[in-house]
């Protein structure tokens, strides 16, 4: 058999295979079933409750029906209630205690991203209550708040309490240091984030820990 005839036969086989593939694809499309339309909505809702947030995000990309089921706000509110448990109450987590409609999906991801933030803002500084204790021999404890312009402290030393105003404090531009403005010498405080989305500020003499309420 000549090479031309062999080539012709090979081309015929390829064309036949292509036709078979087309027939199979056409048959599959004709018999394709959207399982979400084939089962009750209550069952779809039940299945969705076993998925994780990243799973729901993947489901949203499948079809408009999957988007509808995976975007239901009660699912995302449930994730907020579970994953925010034990976290400090802030502008995100406090939404659990308020009435009205919420975009719980966006709130969930905004809160999780904010929880990974390591830079403190002036708003964080002013809205955080702190407790502290000294590392020095003259041991004392106390509570403090940073107002808009001043740092006010109530100290407990030797069984007595007294109020101290240590002047104006600011957050550094990188959000990692609290420092005092003025002539009074006082070491800057290094700021770090805690796993419960709170803060710790410390220097060589004293530890400061935020004492905000948490989600139970």
* Number of domains comprising the chain: 1
**From its phi and psi, is residue 167 left (phi > 0), alpha (psi between -120 and 50) or beta?**
left
In a domain, 23, yes or no: no
Per-residue pLDDT reduced to its tens digit, 125-155: 777 777 777 776 555 566 666 655 445 544 4
In a domain, 166, yes or no: yes
In a domain, 142, yes or no: yes
pTM of the model: 0.69
In a domain, 170, yes or no: yes
In a domain, 102, yes or no: no
Q: Give the pLDDT mean for 190-209.
A: 84
Which CATH number fits the domain that encloses residue 150? Answer: 2.40.128
Per-residue pLDDT reduced to its tens digit, 31-72: 555 666 677 878 888 888 888 999 999 888 888 888 888 888
Asked if residue 135 lies in contact with residue 142, where contact means CB atoms within 8 angstroms, the answer is no
Instruction: Read off the tokens for 94.
Output: 């406090």
In a domain, 128, yes or no: yes
CA atoms in the 13 A half-sphere facing the CB of 112:
14
Structural domain boundaries enclosing 165: 122-210
In a domain, 184, yes or no: yes
In a domain, 117, yes or no: no
């Amino acid at each position: 058999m000549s090479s031309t005839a062999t080539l012709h036969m090979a081309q015929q086989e390829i064309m036949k295979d292509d036709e078979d593939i087309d027939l199979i694809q056409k048959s599959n499309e004709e018999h394709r079933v959207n399982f979400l339309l084939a089962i009750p909505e209550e069952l779809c809702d039940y299945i969705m409750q076993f998925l994780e947030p990243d799973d729901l995000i993947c489901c949203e990309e499948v079809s408009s029906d999957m988007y509808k089921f995976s975007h239901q706000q009660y699912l995302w509110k449930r994730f907020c209630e579970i994953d925010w448990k034990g976290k400090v109450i802030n502008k995100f987590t406090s939404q659990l205690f308020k009435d009205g409609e919420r975009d719980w999906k966006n709130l969930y991801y905004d809160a999780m991203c904010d929880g990974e933030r390591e830079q403190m803002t002036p708003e964080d500084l002013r809205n955080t209550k702190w407790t502290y204790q000294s590392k020095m021999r003259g041991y004392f404890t106390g509570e403090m708040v940073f107002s808009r312009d001043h740092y006010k402290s109530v100290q407990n030393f030797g069984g007595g309490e007294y109020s101290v105003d240590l002047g104006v404090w600011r957050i550094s531009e990188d959000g990692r240091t609290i420092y005092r403005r003025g002539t009074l010498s006082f070491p800057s405080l290094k700021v770090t984030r805690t796993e419960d989305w709170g803060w710790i500020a410390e220097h060589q003499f004293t530890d400061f820990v935020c004492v905000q309420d948490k989600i139970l």
